[in-house]
Amino acid sequence: MKSKNVQSVIKRLYASGFPELYDIEYLLGLEKERDLELLFGFADKVRREFCGDGIIVRAIIEFSSFCRNRCLYCGLNRHNKNLKRYRLSKEEIMAAVKEINAAGIKTIVLQSGEDDELDVFWLSDLVREIKGNYDIVVTLSVGERSKGEYMIWKDAGADRYLLKIETSDETLYRCLHPEMSFENRINCSSALRALGYQIGSGCIVGLRGQTIPMLARDIMFFKEEDFDMLGIGIFIPHENTPLGKEPLGSMDLTLKTLAVTRIVTKNTHLPATTAIGSLGGTIKALNAGANVIMLNFTPEPYRDLYEIYPGKNCLNNESLTNIDNLEAITYEANRWINYSAGDSLKYKHTLCAFE
């Protein structure tokens, strides 16, 4: 085994096109405050080198909370009978899009559970209407569908797609996602890429049964697949799920996963995720490699009903204050708000090693 000096491992990981699993595991296992400062500080430098100091702002509309699945960690699972479900009308969504456009935001994420009632042409009409009326990028996040449906939405103008793997460990994936198929998840991701979508994945840190070697392999998977965007979330137990009594995920481990992901994947867009933000970790994430923030424009009274986990908080409750809060956060992080569409950086940058 090679040297385990923290700095040398970080630099080796940064410089290597083919990172070693044991280096990633080693960094994920760091605990001393000084070592964490080194790791987060280096990730912050890599973020600055490849993504700049602008914090890209995106807007999300959660338009349906119906879901056919029963992921063990998610409050939208179909067995949660305590949740009031909703679907937004096209008019409600377009009103939110108008608000997003007025706020100067150039990316909109349309997200839902895997809703069996979601009509492929209803969504393609919606995408077409948005693209026809606004100069705005549309990201879809509606789960596993057929390649034909993905194609129809791409033809309508959809630009990007989020489909998180949550864990790249097939056995753990099967435990957490009853009735779902790891293989289909991978196939969907490949189909989306083949159709020309910019694609996003990501994982949840702190899941029951998850180990550091598994998280290290998640990061290797992210590197191999070369995703355009990656969301590193933290497990927050929801009482109306089978994992409701499990402990909260570790914030330190989540930030380490984010930081190592930044060092390994370089120019991937990495949000300070909503899950991290709901635990007060947004600034820490921005200082450990994150370069994106998502603002929630789901209209009231629906916003609180999209309860993947309790206390979900996209910075706050109404659009204007959202921007105000974002400004406060960027100021505190000594950064600035990037209102561009924030396209993938995957095709632009070449490696330039630190001294």
Q: Which residues bind ligand SF4 (CB under 6 A)?
A: 67, 69, 71, 74, 76-77, 113-114, 143
For ligand SF4, which is the closer residue by CB, 143 or 249? 143
* Phi and psi, residue 27, nearest 5°: -70, -35
Q: Would you say 23 or 114 has its CB closer to ligand SF4?
A: 114
Alpha-carbon distance 162 to 193, whole Å? 11
CB of 182 vs ligand SF4, minimal distance in Å: 14
Q: Confirm if 269 and 162 have CB atoms less than 8 A apart.
A: no
CA distances from residue 309 to 3, 30, 232, 279, 313 in whole angstroms, order as listed: 41, 28, 15, 12, 10
N-terminal to C-terminal alpha carbon distance within the chain: 24
CA–CA separation, 60 vs 299, rounded Å? Answer: 10
Cα-based angle 142, 167, 141 (whole degrees, multiple of 5): 10
**Nearer CB in complex with ligand SF4: 6/165:** 165
Alpha carbons 100 and 339: distance in angstroms, whole number? 11
Cα(53)–Cα(127) distance, rounded to whole angstroms? 31
Least distance in angstroms from the C-beta of 269 to ligand SF4 = 21
When computed from its CA atoms, the radius of gyration of the chain, rounded to whole angstroms, is 19
Residue with tokens 């908080």: 313
Report the residue number, 67 or 276, with the smaller CB distance to ligand SF4. 67
DSSP E strand stretches across 25-98:
54-64
Residue 213: CB minimum distance to ligand SF4, A: 24
- Choice between 76 and 232, CB closer to ligand SF4: 76
> Which residue lies nearer to ligand SF4 by CB, 69 or 313?
69
Q: Closest distance between ligand SF4 and the C-beta of residue 248, in Å?
A: 18
Interatomic CA distance for residues 181 and 316, integer angstroms: 35
> Cβ closer to ligand SF4: 69 or 325?
69
CB atoms within 10 A of CB 284: 19
* Shortest distance in whole angstroms from residue 118 CB to ligand SF4: 12
Cβ proximity to ligand SF4: between 113 and 231 the closer is 113
DSSP, res 344: -
Rounded least distance, CB 55 to ligand SF4, Å: 26
Distance CA 182, CA 186 (A): 6
Q: How far is the CB of 29 from ligand SF4 (least distance, A)?
A: 28
CB of 112 to ligand SF4, least distance (A): 8
CA angle in degrees (0–180, nearest 5) for 233-189-161: 65
